[in-house]
A and B are shown apart, each in its own frame.
Chain A
Amino acid sequence: MSVGRSPEAARRRRASRRHPRVPRVRSILVVLLGFVLSGVVGALTFFWPTITTALGATGHGIQVSAPTPSTLPGSPSATPAAAPTSSSPFTVLLMGSDNDGKFTTASGAPYFCCAQSLILVRVDPAASSVTMLSIPRDLWVPIYSASGRQQGDGKVSQAFGDAGDGTNGADAEIATIEQDFQVNVDHYVWIGLQGLINLIDEVGGIDIVASHPVMDDSYPYDVAGSTNPNAADRVAVLPGAEHMDGLEALEYVRSRHDDISEDLGRTVRQQQVLVALRQKLSQLSLGDINNLASALSGEVLTDVPLTQFPLLLGISKDIASGSIQHVYLTQYSGGTEDGQDVLEPDMSAILAVVHQYFPAT
Chain B
Amino acid sequence: MSRSRRLLTWTVLLVLMAAFGAGVNRYLASGPTAYAPAKIPTQADVKVSLRGTVYFADDGGLFALTGTHITQLQTEGQGWTQPVLIPGGAGLLAVKVTANYYSDLYELNLSGRIEAQLSHDSGKVTATELGADDWLYYPAVGPGDTLYFSYDWPKGNVDDPSECCYQVDLSIWETTLGTDITRTNVEKGDGITQQSWANYYTGGDISPVPLVDGGLLYVDYEGAYGNTGQLSTPLPGAVPGAEVSQIRLDPKPLYNVAGSDGAALTLPQDDCAQPALNPDESEIAMICTPVVDGAPSSTESDLVVASFDAATGTLGTLDRIVTGTMAASPTWSPDGTDLIYLAPEAGDGYFELWSVADAATSPAARPKQVTTGLDLDGSAAVWAP
Contacts and interface: CB of A to CB of B under 8 A. Distances in A.
A241 interface: yes
A328 interface: yes
A326 B241 contact: no
Interface string B94-129: 000100111100000000000000000000000110
Interface residues of A, number: 72
Nearest to A261: B241
Contacts of A275: 298-299
A279 B292 CA distance: 18
B165 A330 contact: no
Contacts of A46: 24-25, 28-29
Contacts, number: 237
B167 A258 contact: yes
A259 B203 CA distance: 7
A13 B369 CA distance: 74
A79 interface: no
B35 A203 contact: yes
A238 interface: yes
Interface stretch (A140-148, A163-171, A184-192, A206-214): A206-214
A34 B33 contact: no
A215 interface: yes
B168 A258 contact: yes
Contacts of A322: 292, 299-300
Interface string A174-205: 00000000000000000000000000001111
Nearest to A244: B377
A27 to B, nearest CB: 9
Contacts of A279: 349
A41 B21 contact: yes
A97 interface: no
Interface string A218-248: 1001000000000111111011111100000
A337 B118 CA distance: 50
A182 B46 CA distance: 55
Nearest to B103: A236
A239 B20 contact: no
Is the contact region of chain A dominated by helix, strand, or loop, or is it mixed?
A: mixed
A318 interface: no
Contact of A287 (B33, B170, B326): B33
A285 B239 contact: no
A193 B152 CA distance: 28
A42 B296 CA distance: 50
Contacts of A31: 13, 17
Interface stretch (A57-65, A106-114, A263-271, A300-308): A263-271
Contacts of B375: 205, 207, 243
Which of A41, A43, A260 has most B Cβ within 10 Å? A260
B90 interface: no
Given A215-B204, A241-B378, A208 B326 contact: yes
Given A234-B101, A260-B243, A330-B241, A243 B350 contact: yes
7 tightest A-B CB contacts, nearest first? A213-B203, A217-B165, A287-B31, A38-B21, A42-B24, A42-B21, A204-B35
Interface of B: 13-14, 16-18, 20-25, 28-38, 59, 97, 100-103, 127-128, 130-131, 133, 135, 137, 152, 155, 164-170, 199-204, 206, 219, 221-223, 227, 239-243, 245, 271, 273-274, 287, 289, 292-293, 295-296, 298-301, 326-329, 342-344, 347-351, 375-380
